[in-house]
Homo-oligomer: A and B are copies of this chain.
Amino acid sequence: MVDPVKYEVALERIQTHLDAADYDAAATLLRGLHPADAAEILNELNDDEQSALVNRLETEQLADVFEQMYEEEMAEVAEHLDRETLVDMLEAMEPDAAADLLGEMEPEEAAGLIGEMDEPAEVTALLQYPEDEAGGIMNLPPPSLRRWMRVREAVSYLREHYEDAEEIFYLYVLDRNTRLIGLVNLRALILADPEQTIEMIMSRDVISVRVDADQEEAAQLLARYDLLALPVVDANNRLVGIITVDDLVDVIEEEATEDIYRLAGVGDDAAIDSPFWQILRNRLPWLVMNLGTAFLAAYVVSLFDATIAKVTILAALMPIVTGQGGNAGTQTMTVVVRSLALHEVEPSDTPYTLWREMRVGLVNGLVVGTLVGLIVAVFTSNPWLGVVIGLAMLGNMVVAGTFGTLVPMLLRRIGVDPALASSIFVTATTDVMGFALFLGLSTLLIKLIL
């Protein structure tokens, strides 16, 4: 059993060796770790330490460790390698990982490295696909079978061609034009009579994905049909690659992170260690767009200038109405946006969802409105002020439920990602309506609250 503290202990011991400048001892420890752990430890270290360690690993070990890193991490650590080691490592890596690393580099630099590789064909084949499409996350197809092969022939064919291939779970069957016609899983191959033909044991119902499909579509197919690998085909149904389930995990986490970040307005390519200018480029537009909303709300408040001049406590109380409206709107909006992303609801469910969220808003509004009304009535000794803020709160909660549902549903229907723009519209509504309801009611009932 893997001890959860093993990684922490290893990191600490390696750090101790590094602090004592005993790089050989540190490298020995690193070599004994699972490549995934070694990769994570390397990412924790500073540039000098990384450089000292990677230059003490063999090419094969380097390749294994690099394959476990994210693309940006690979590019960062690769800077410590001399050109020759880098080329050797690229040749030893799985082609999809090598293509990912090369894709992170400047085009001229990548082209230069490819030129020095002995067998760059596989890598260049993969490099042509955009990184967010099925082609961008696939690997080259494993050795494939023909339908007329006997099971025993297939097994000896695999013995010959299998050793180098990435771990395989399904074997694909191609026709003479390399079009995908069937699938055999390893279990069926083990259980079959050696004299049976592949055609007799293959399944014809192969789920595949087009090479130019979105990576999210590939992930959804893998997840939906509980597949371990998904064959990738071109427009003529020729097998050009496979996507394995371990790539899926990254895609699912990426898509979830994208949604979370879009909701918060920090850009889809945000990362905790993005370059400074990129953070600004990601976040400033969101803040500036929200300024429009903010000035609109300020304009609404300014309409009630005379009322506020008479009852200045209104200025202190009004952010309570808009703040709670914003919170309630965010609650509804978040559930709707995430449920749309997970395909748990569709825009066609709007009437039902709207009806439910409006009722939730009503009950939330009754509870919170009563509470706020009572507190305000007691502390200001002004019962009518309590009534006014309570009613405004109630109204704004229903507004929050309504627009928290409608905005993402409408965005989805017109083809805009709801995560990208919902919160700006929902907040605009709860701000404007919150101020208008509270200050409007106060103006109407000004004689009672004076």
A interface residues with partner B (beta carbon < 8 Å): 1-2, 4, 34, 36, 155, 158-159, 162-163, 167-169, 180, 185-187, 189-191, 206-210, 217, 221-226, 228, 233, 237, 245-246, 248-249, 252-253, 256-257, 259-261, 263-266, 270-273, 276, 279-280, 283-284, 286-288, 290-291, 293-295, 297-299, 301-302, 305, 308-309, 312-320, 322-324, 327-328, 330-331, 333-336, 338-339, 342, 344-345, 349, 353, 356, 359-360, 363-364, 367-368, 371-372, 375, 427, 431, 435
* Bound form: Cα–Cα A190–B322 in Å: 67
Asked whether, in the complex, the Cβ of B257 is within 8 Å of the Cβ of A338, the reply is yes
Given A319-B297, A331-B264, A335-B266: A249 in contact with B246 (beta carbons within 8 A): no
**How near does chain B come to A6, taking the closest CB pair, in angstroms?**
11
Asked whether, in the complex, the Cβ of B266 is within 8 Å of the Cβ of A331, the reply is yes
Q: Which of B217, B245, B308 contacts A315 (CB 8 A)?
A: B308
Asked whether, in the complex, the Cβ of A286 is within 8 Å of the Cβ of B317, the reply is no
Asked whether, in the complex, the Cβ of B312 is within 8 Å of the Cβ of A295, the reply is no
Residue among A322, A330, A331, A353 with most chain B CB within 10 A? A331
* Bound form: Cα–Cα A360–B273 in Å: 13
Q: Which residues of chain B are near A302, meaning CB under 8 Å? A: 313, 316
Q: Which of B2, B167, B288, B334 contacts A187 (CB 8 A)?
A: B167
**How near does chain B come to A137, taking the closest CB pair, in angstroms?**
14
Asked whether, in the complex, the Cβ of B431 is within 8 Å of the Cβ of A319, the reply is yes
Q: Which of B168, B290, B342, B359 contacts A276 (CB 8 A)?
A: B359
Asked whether, in the complex, the Cβ of B225 is within 8 Å of the Cβ of A271, the reply is no
Asked whether, in the complex, the Cβ of B319 is within 8 Å of the Cβ of A294, the reply is yes
* Bound form: Cα–Cα A295–B393 in Å: 14
**How near does chain B come to A133, taking the closest CB pair, in angstroms?**
15
Residue among A273, A295, A315, A320 with most chain B CB within 10 A? A315
* Bound form: Cα–Cα A318–B318 in Å: 11
Asked whether, in the complex, the Cβ of B283 is within 8 Å of the Cβ of A328, the reply is yes
* Bound form: Cα–Cα A160–B82 in Å: 55
* Bound form: Cα–Cα A72–B155 in Å: 44
Q: Which residues of chain B are near A208, meaning CB under 8 Å? A: 1-2
Q: Which of B2, B34, B327 contacts A287 (CB 8 A)?
A: B327
Q: Which of B286, B297, B328 contacts A327 (CB 8 A)?
A: B286
Asked whether, in the complex, the Cβ of B344 is within 8 Å of the Cβ of A271, the reply is yes
| 10 A-B pairs with least C-beta separation | A256-B256, A264-B334, A315-B315, A301-B316, A272-B339, A226-B246, A302-B316, A294-B320, A223-B249, A186-B186
Q: Which residues of chain B are near A333, meaning CB under 8 Å? A: 264
Asked whether, in the complex, the Cβ of B305 is within 8 Å of the Cβ of A313, the reply is yes
Asked whether, in the complex, the Cβ of B226 is within 8 Å of the Cβ of A272, the reply is no
Asked whether, in the complex, the Cβ of A316 is within 8 Å of the Cβ of B344, the reply is no
Asked whether, in the complex, the Cβ of B291 is within 8 Å of the Cβ of A319, the reply is no
**How near does chain B come to A259, taking the closest CB pair, in angstroms?**
7
Asked whether, in the complex, the Cβ of B375 is within 8 Å of the Cβ of A295, the reply is yes
Residue of B nearest to A70 (CB): B344
Q: Which residues of chain B are near A228, meaning CB under 8 Å? A: 169, 228, 245
**How near does chain B come to A31, taking the closest CB pair, in angstroms?**
14
Asked whether, in the complex, the Cβ of A431 is within 8 Å of the Cβ of B260, the reply is no
Residue of B nearest to A249 (CB): B223
Q: Which of B316, B328, B331 contacts A299 (CB 8 A)?
A: B316
* Bound form: Cα–Cα A191–B163 in Å: 9
Q: Which of B259, B288, B338, B368 contacts A288 (CB 8 A)?
A: B368
Q: Which residues of chain B are near A372, meaning CB under 8 Å? A: 291
* 9 sample A-B contacts, Cβ–Cβ < 8 Å, listed by A number: A1-B209, A4-B217, A223-B246, A228-B245, A265-B327, A276-B360, A298-B316, A301-B319, A323-B427
Asked whether, in the complex, the Cβ of B338 is within 8 Å of the Cβ of A279, the reply is no
* Bound form: Cα–Cα A360–B322 in Å: 27
Given A228-B228, A324-B294: A331 in contact with B265 (beta carbons within 8 A): yes
Q: Which residues of chain B are near A273, meaning CB under 8 Å? A: 344
